Structure 1
Amino acid sequence: MAEPNMLQRPRPESRARFHDDFGQRFLVTVDTEEEFDWSRPLDREGHTLLSVPALRKFQEFCEGYGVTPVYLVDFPIVNTPLAVQAIGEAVREGRAEIGVQLHPWVNPPFEEAITAHNSFAGNLPRELEEAKLQRLKAKIEEVFGATPLIYRAGRYGLGADTASILRANGIAIDSSVRARFDYSGEGGPNYRHHPCHPYWVGTDDPRILELPLTSLYWGPLRQLGDWIYPRLWRAPRLRGMLARLGLLERIALTPEGITAHEAMRGVDIALDDGVPVLVFSFHSPSLAPGYTPYVRDDAELDAFYAWWRTLFDYLATRGISSTSVKDIMRCVELP
């Protein structure tokens, strides 16, 4: 039996089903990582961890709304005591959950050259991809005293061997697929035709539950989005014009580059499409000013939190409650 390949578009029959009382819910995921200059080439040393204490404020903010965030931590994060100080107690008490995020260029063992191709963990040789995952998972268990069940590849970099690696190492859920996005121009995966609905990977047990990040098209041309968008990747002004005219817009459920009004439209589309789990995401350095292009000063940090207040309130009006990895595992129907 061939190993499952997470890069392939799933078959319709692989769609995951949930217990009737699960309904539709949302999950907040945080790509919890070091700060680095996004405009410069990657390296192993050129990063800081100054935004890590800001995780505590976000955790307290989420608890005020009854939301259980999932922190997908990479090696520099789990290797600093600042992370446990910020969210360790919340993880131990079940008010937050911990997961794995693999940034191969800062995750030992260091056997590969630092290149754009190798920044996608799924492009590495199987033995090296697995060794990095094992090193990170063991460190998370040591530091947080919890076994992570969910994985996200840094830069969304799944590979042909990732599914079997996750299965062999006790990871039940992957959330690396960014539906409607294509990273093949940089040597990464193409998720242009992947769905937003959760689905099962493979046919042999234990299977991996894929929980794609929610991103979709809005506008009268949305049904043609998979055809139009790839043909306009070199024409961002034309894509912007289509969005301004209200004809076609790609909306990801993130406060990074997406307005609250746009995100609410995305929520409406996802709910109308029957997506059972709406997956929100952002990068943890956005929790402090000056570390990402999205939060450059205190005013933009205030706007960042206002975005979440608006979305949490809107989800409540739509009757959509927060979920967690634990709830998802309990409520998904086994194939």
Structure 2
Amino acid sequence: MFDKRKYIGLPADSPPKLIVVIDTEEEFDWSAEPDSEANHVSAMAHIDRVQNIFNEYGIHPCYVIDYPIASQPEGYRLLKQFAENGQCEIGAHLHPWVNPPFQEELSKPNTYPGNLPYALEREKLLILRDKITENFGLTPIAYKAGRYGFGPNTATIMQELGFNIDLSVCPPLDSRADGGPDYRRFDARPFWFGGSDCSILELPCTGGFVGWAGGAALPLFQVAQVFRKFKAPGILSRLGAVDRLMLSPEGFSSAEHIKLTRALYSQGVRTFTWSFHSPSVVPGNTNYVQDDAQLREFLDSFRRYFDFFFNELGGEASTPTRIRDFMESMA
């Protein structure tokens, strides 16, 4: 899928750059079987809860939006205002089970768009791209596969449809259990890929294995997973040997955000992605935000991390398109 990838090394004195990517999507039961009728987008009436925080810090987030968001005024009304005011970027996010045409069998493996046949994956992304263009007056160039489901045909399809930034890689996620990708051997560094010219920029989700185990972290974590009933992963974490962390306010604490960032920064990483799902802005939609107290903690974690990143780490806010321009200027 990512043959011939060319990793990008930035100078050690480069200020770290932060982008925010929101998987902007319908509300649905993540544990249930896929349902093409589950396309409600009521949470989007409250997306300003996070946008107001971004405005405080001068951050222009990238909302990668799927078909229920792009096709329903309730889903895109506020986002269109933000985009017209120059406060955000808009990308595409393909959830196949709620994105026409509906030709595939509804199954967990088919919720990963990269598992679909080439023609169907292409047609779904084309329809999504055109719907975004119709309702926003702009054509997206950034893409994030639903469920991080990048497949063997995705790069070709992206190039054919004018996408040149991908946000799908999610280290250290392993979704093979229900037919998804395995990103455990990827890391947080950006890279060029796609055909002979490597013209697509990959900006991975920020995640990884951190701890004193170093290069042995992945095999050690795999062994710990075998002994999960004995709480082996937690023991390794408390010992500082290995933690599997992501830069997300969903399921990870502020201490873990800072721990991950410091570890990756010391390894030379200079691009960081803060990511989450839009339904989390309303309690009850995701496992991470079930009540008002959890919502307050969710939102407070944004400010804690941004204060750390901009004040202590000396970082800068950026966007996927601005980072692409920056990378091209260095080539």
Please classify the TM superposition score into its range, dividing by the shorter chain length: over 0.9
Q: In the alignment, which of 150, 162, 165 is matched to residue 170 of structure 1?
A: 162
CA distance in 2, matches of 1:326, 1:18: 17
Q: CA deviation at 1:206?
A: 6.2
- Residues 146, 22 of structure 1: alpha-carbon distance in 2 compared, 3 angstrom cutoff: farther
User: Is this contact kept in 2: 1:92–1:145, CA < 8 A?
Assistant: no
Q: In the alignment, which of 252, 261, 284 is matched to residue 258 of structure 1?
A: 252
TM-score by length of 1: 0.93
CA distance in 2, matches of 1:148, 1:59: 20
TM-score by length of 2: 0.94
The 5-angstrom pairing of residues 174-323 of structure 1 reads 174-205=166-197, 207-236=199-228, 237-316=231-310, 317-323=312-318
- Residues 22, 246 of structure 1: alpha-carbon distance in 2 compared, 3 angstrom cutoff: closer
Equivalent position SS for 1:53: helix
Unmatched runs of 5 consecutive residues or more in structure 1:
none
Equivalent position SS for 2:272: strand
CA distance in 2, matches of 1:229, 1:42: 30
Identity %: 37
**Does residue 46 of the first structure (1) align with residue 48 of the second (2)?**
no
CA distance in 2, matches of 1:52, 1:114: 26
Equivalenced residue count is 327
User: Is this contact kept in 1: 2:15–2:316, CA < 8 A?
Assistant: no
Q: CA deviation at 1:177?
A: 0.6
User: Is this contact kept in 1: 2:68–2:75, CA < 8 A?
Assistant: no
| Range with greater deviation from structure 2 (245-254 or 96-105) | 245-254
Structure 1 residue runs of 4+, over 6 Å off? none
- Residues 21, 240 of structure 1: alpha-carbon distance in 2 compared, 3 angstrom cutoff: closer
| Range with greater deviation from structure 2 (122-131 or 141-150) | 141-150
How big is each residue's C-alpha offset from its partner over 1:3-58, in whole Å with a ceiling of 9 and x where there is no partner?
xx23x5x65xx112568996320111000011111121111113421211111221
User: Is this contact kept in 1: 2:156–2:195, CA < 8 A?
Assistant: no
| Range with greater deviation from structure 2 (169-178 or 194-203) | 194-203
User: Is this contact kept in 2: 1:18–1:331, CA < 8 A?
Assistant: no
| Range with greater deviation from structure 2 (291-300 or 200-209) | 200-209
How big is each residue's C-alpha offset from its partner over 1:265-319, in whole Å with a ceiling of 9 and x where there is no partner?
1110121111121011101111111100100011111001110010000001210
CA distance in 1, matches of 2:326, 2:227: 43
2:118 counterpart residue number: 126
Equivalent position SS for 2:42: coil
Q: CA deviation at 1:207?
A: 1.3
User: Is this contact kept in 2: 1:75–1:106, CA < 8 A?
Assistant: yes
Equivalent position SS for 1:233: helix
How big is each residue's C-alpha offset from its partner over 1:187-222, in whole Å with a ceiling of 9 and x where there is no partner?
111111112100011352361111111101222113
Equivalent position SS for 1:295: coil
CA distance in 1, matches of 2:185, 2:280: 29
Q: In the alignment, which of 70, 76, 94 is matched to residue 86 of structure 2?
A: 94
What RMSD in Å do the two structures reach over aligned CA positions?
1.8
CA distance in 2, matches of 1:104, 1:52: 20
- Residues 21, 231 of structure 1: alpha-carbon distance in 2 compared, 3 angstrom cutoff: closer
**Does residue 325 of the first structure (1) align with residue 320 of the second (2)?**
yes
User: Is this contact kept in 2: 1:173–1:208, CA < 8 A?
Assistant: yes
Unmatched runs of 5 consecutive residues or more in structure 2:
none
Counterpart amino acid of residue 31 in structure 1: D
| Range with greater deviation from structure 2 (107-116 or 214-223) | 214-223
